[in-house]
Amino acid sequence: MKRPATRTKLPLSVVILAAGQGKRMNSDLPKVLQPLAGRPLLAYVIATARTLEPAAVHVVYGHGGERVLEALRTEPVSWVQQAQQLGTGHALLQVAPKLRDDELVLVLYGDVPLITRETLVKLLELASPKDLGLLTVRLEDPTGYGRVLRDRRGRVRRVVEQKDASQRELAIHECNTGVLAAPAKHLKKWLKRLTNHNAQREYYLTDVISMAVKDKIAVRPLLAAATDEVLGVNDKIQLAVVEAAYRRRRAEELMAAGATVIDPRRLDVRGSVEVGRDALLDVNVVLEGRVRLGDRVRIGPGCVIRDAVIGNDTEVFAHCVVDNAVIGASCRIGPFARIRPASILAANVHIGNFVELKNAQLGVGSKANHLTYLGDTVVGTDVNVGAGTITCNYDGANKWTTHIEDGVFIGSGSMLVAPVRIEARATIGAGSTITQNAPRDQLTVGRARQVSIEGWQRPKKRER
């Protein structure tokens, strides 16, 4: 469904400032590439910006530029380099030649990943050719943030950075987030007038607020509804705080959609997830990629579900991995099972403890309950695979397929050496090694003759 465009009166360009070095990260990875739920911080900001349907998205990069460009090379953005990091105002100045005078400019930050579309739409509604929209936040501990200074009538007059603030100003709890929306024509003029006469010797973007006031451009503030939206990430501790906020947000989305989440603090959602009614997610579940869970699906503790579809009423018991697979309705999986890519399970399939599937198709009602590996295997309906069975699918160079037809019973401890076909309703005796096709409706046994050697003794260690 196409999202409605924002009500701004001017075409929109988004500028994302992402040139910071991130020294406090103590990491070889550029700050904006630090992972949040498995994706770079900057990827979240770009994705949110694109939901606004802007005319252009410009990303200002600097430190680790080549790695940033490589990691996000498929993003439809305009990349602008800031060769020297001289402050946020200087960073935005690098984009100024690409901005048209008839545009509205929205400024975002590559290390503030949780900003929402809803908040940005409200901010853009405050901006116009004669109005600047400024996103602020009220913090119990404002340390490190620029303070928003208002006059007696409550109008925003300017923003002062922490290092330049007086003791009285440091007592203010309304803080600048750095996110603003301003008419490009005025913004470009203000950027040219910036100076670095401050404690950090940088060109502050925040100085444009007092310039706007001087030029009779109204500064219209919007107080962020939630502090986690505007949390910046400058070190690994802050990254963990943002990760926790993201986990909570995603868990709440799933609960609102009808899922039961046993402990939202211990659910990791790292992709796009759809849940049916009354799906249940136990503790320490990780959902990655594109996941679709049907009605009344139950995912046990410690499971990893990646790029998978799981049908109604299926239960995945504790500590299973389901990866790039499709599981039908009313199945029972695990505990401690691994369903690897290209596996497809029909309805009422049972996969038990310490069973591994890879590129395996199992028909309705088939079971592999214990200690089994089925790789490159096509299994029919109502098949029983005994404990310890292995499909020997790899000859050292090529993979081969095992076909097990409807109604087959595989005895425990059997080796099925592919390529091989077990025909309908065949029974394979326990402990068999099957290298040729087994005919339907018959018992096939492939065992070496049992021999006991009289007088044989185990070797003993030599005395030293």
How far is CA 207 from each of CA 282, 372, 395, rounded to the nearest angstrom? 49, 67, 70
Q: Which are the contacts of 247, defined by CB distance < 8 A and separation ≥ 6?
A: 37, 264, 265, 267, 268, 269
Interatomic CA distance for residues 377 and 401, integer angstroms:
5
Interatomic CA distance for residues 301 and 317, integer angstroms:
7
**Sign, CA torsion 34/38/42/48:** negative
Q: Contact 16/112 with Cβ under 8 angstroms?
A: no
Q: Contact 119/224 with Cβ under 8 angstroms?
A: yes
Interatomic CA distance for residues 345 and 358, integer angstroms:
11
- The DSSP output letter for 170 is H
How far is CA 285 from each of CA 263, 398, 413, 414, 429, rounded to the nearest angstrom? 10, 35, 32, 34, 39
370 annotated active-site: yes
DSSP letter string over 364-424? TT-EEEES-EEEEEEE-SS-EE-TT-EEE-B-SS-B--EEE-TT-EEPTT-EEESSEEE-T
CB atoms within 10 A of CB 33: 21
Q: Is 66 helix (H, G, I), strand (E, B) or coil?
A: helix
Phi then psi for residue 251, to 5 deg, are -65, -40
Question: Which entry of 58, 90, 319, 370 is annotated as an active-site residue?
Answer: 370
Active site residues: 370
